[in-house]
Structure 1
Amino acid sequence: MLVKLFRELEEEVLRNWNSQKDFAGLVKKYNQKPDFGFEALFNTEEWAKKFKDAGLPFLSEAVRTGGASVLADLVSDQVFDMTNPFVTETIRTRLDFFGTKVIGTTQKDIVKAIAAGLKENETIEQIAKRLERSFDLAEKLRAPRIARTEVTSGFNAGNVNGMQQSGVVDTHSWLTSRDADV
């Protein structure tokens, strides 16, 4: 799912990048203010929503599985309540964070690639290659890492809420190694 979204976003960014009409004006803007944004390449709010919408079923299933797992261990006949306000708020908050952070990091990577190309006086085509490499990294490295993080976070949130829903667990605490690093 993430790889597919990154590929679709890459297509949009490259299409918009390659259609630059005033490359000289872009270089001039960059030379005046190197950190100016490249907002015309994609709509961040639209893409954050696409990532959130695509992530909803996966995060919901991770939360449900985490909650059901702990309830099965503690109280065999209780069903995990996905409509619990804590559960719905956890999913909403996590999805907001997920969509915003993924798109924010992607936008920073795009700006960094374009800025590096402009600094090196590269052509539109050369900078497009930089953008392709940036998206290749997103697909190969970031997507699996993001998926692992979100599923683990969802499972753990469901697990903690399942303990609360059980009525059996009063408190929950974490054990550490109690060494100097903690």
Structure 2
Amino acid sequence: MLEWIPQPVKAIILLFPVSEAYEKHRAQEHESLAADPGIFPDDLFYMRQLTSNACGTVALIHCVANSTSISLTEGVLKSFLESVRDLTPEERGKALENDKSFTEGHHELAKEGQTVADPEEKVNHHFIALINKDGTLYELDGRKQFPIKHGSTSDETFVQDAAKVCKEFMARDPDELRFTVMALVASDN
């Protein structure tokens, strides 16, 4: 079925349940990475999620900011990315939290949706981005302190390599069915 996805795939977004098994894995992963987070490309855009219920927005920002083939027109997202380019991941998260035009635009778009989102509601699911950056598959999760390297990939193998990472998430919760995967692909235009 992966072959049915239109190519080229720019990024993958995974939505998954935040379970006890996931939180245990995240804590163990953080402990090992805190000792040696690794070295990342200077142009890898990573930001922390400091705003409640903003994981989908952060995942989309990670996808767009790390794709060299996506060109943005003037607007809120382009302005935000330009203003935070040289900041730390924490400073970027704080900037998103304090960006009034981004927040207003987000709220306007949310009103158009079919679901009413309460910013104080306890969320049981989380969005992350999987990207190919210079031949390395990265997991970008704003709840984590660091990007996660998942090994080498290529434009040709990215979908299959990202699918393996998604399967790892699913294997941690074998009784859970609520996983969703979305591919960001090039438009035909």
Structure 1 or 2: larger strand share? Answer: 2
Instruction: Give TM-score, length-normalised by structure 1.
Output: 0.24
TM-score (norm 2): 0.24
Larger gyration radius, structure 1 or structure 2: 1
As a proportion of its length, which structure holds more helix?
1
